[in-house]
Structures are given as C-alpha cells and as structure tokens.
A and B are shown apart, each in its own frame.
Chain A
Amino acid sequence: DSGVTQTPKHLITATGQRVTLRCSPRSGDLSVYWYQQSLDQGLQFLIQYYNGEERAKGNILERFSAQQFPDLHSELNLSSLELGDSALYFCASSVAVADNTGELFFGEGSRLTVL
C-alpha cells in the first residue's frame, strides 16, 4: 500500500459526459501528479500541483482540468468525454522539494471506460 488513495477504482460512462477523479496523497506529501496510461501505452504526464498551486503541465487536453485543495487532495475533471479518453488514470504523490529528487508513490489508479 503506497498510501495514495484514488477513487473511484472503476468508472464507466458515455461519450459527452463529465467525470471527476479524486486523489488523496500520502500523509506529508505536498505534490500531486496526474498521469494517463492508455492500453499498452506508457505513462503520459498530465499535470502537477504543489501545495495547492499548479507547478507543471504536460499533454493535458483543454477538456481536462485539475485542482489541489487546501487539505492537499486533488481532483481531475474530465469533460466532453470521448472514446479515446478511456484509460487508466494514475495519481502519484511525492514530498517534491525544490530539487525534485524524491520518489513518486502511485495510487492504484482509476480505470475509466467511455462507451
């Protein structure tokens, strides 16, 4: 158990809908990362938050947004869903001090299926 909690574990929805994925980082970790992993694809970085502020942005679509709340949990919002958005969405956390040498701890992921 990494200490990173993601909900829901599984989600099935229809095209055009909107979903919210939730992540609670490990106790003490200030930084949260979101990654997308499609079938047989590598981990694609979406976005990073550090102590409530957006720190880095990757290949995140405009239909997707995220935020980190004062209690450090984070939510990833996916809207106007398309079939291609079906993937495993991972949240990871780290202590993430400025020099970024800390390891990432991953949650179990949220598997999104868009029908």
Chain B
Amino acid sequence: EDKVVQSPLSLVVHEGDTVTLNCSYEVTNFRSLLWYKQEKKAPTFLFMLTSSGIEKKSGRLSSILDKKELFSILNITATQTGDSAVYLCAVPNYGQNFVFGPGTRLSVLP
C-alpha cells in the first residue's frame, strides 16, 4: 500500500532556530514529491521535487529529494512566528491520486 510518513509530527522552536522536517515515502511508479504549508485553511504549495540531489529554494525554505533512499527534507532557516503551520508532504501514486502524509505541526515561539 502506498504511504507517506512524516517526522516529527510536532515541533516547537523559538524564532531564529533552524528546523528540518522529514518525509519518507513508498509509492509505486514515483514521479514527484510535493510540499505544502497549511495554516488555517487551504494547503498552499511550496515545492515540487522530481530529481534527486537538486535543492529547491525559496527564501528561507529549501528542500531536497533522495530517490534512492526514498525521502525528502524541508529546511526552514531563521524561523519566524509566521512559519507556524502544518507542513504536508504528498506523493502522486500510480492510481493518480495524491497520497498525503500526516503532516508536521510546527510552532514557532517569539
């Protein structure tokens, strides 16, 4: 069965800290891995990764994929209170639906 696992499930840090969120997956016919940020409502797209070893970066956020070891990490440097959210990892499977992990709830304290 296709699955996506994320760790940690919950994380509390202080502003300025750097965090690393993990996502591992088992899906048939892997094509891509996506990261989303969910605050109060709809998940918003952060990154899509398709190739191993190529870092994607957007401001203080960056992500990388390892297709050999079947995982991805999302790094957030110099965290701010506005980074507090649930971070979701998703992988489209062979059945053409997107399998989501349980998410990592990040709380950034001032």
Contacts and interface: CB of A to CB of B under 8 A. Distances in A.
Interface in B88-110: 88, 90, 92, 95-103
A45 B97 contact: yes
Nearest 9 pairs of A and B residues by beta carbon: A106-B42, A43-B100, A42-B102, A56-B97, A100-B92, A56-B95, A101-B32, A100-B96, A101-B31
A55 B88 CA distance: 23
Interface stretch (B18-26, B43-51, B53-61, B68-76): B43-51
Contacts of B43: 43, 90, 104, 106
> Interface residue tally of chain A, by bracket?
20 to 34
A87 interface: no
Interface string A16-34: 0000000000000000010
Interface of B: 31-32, 34, 36, 41-45, 48, 50, 88, 90, 92, 95-103
A37 to B, nearest CB: 9
Nearest to B32: A101
Given A43-B88, A43-B100, A105-B45, 6 more contacts: A45-B100, A48-B97, A101-B92, A104-B43, A106-B42, A107-B42
A58 B101 CA distance: 15
Contacts of A96: 96
A4 B33 CA distance: 21
B42 A45 contact: no
A2 interface: yes
A93 B45 CA distance: 12
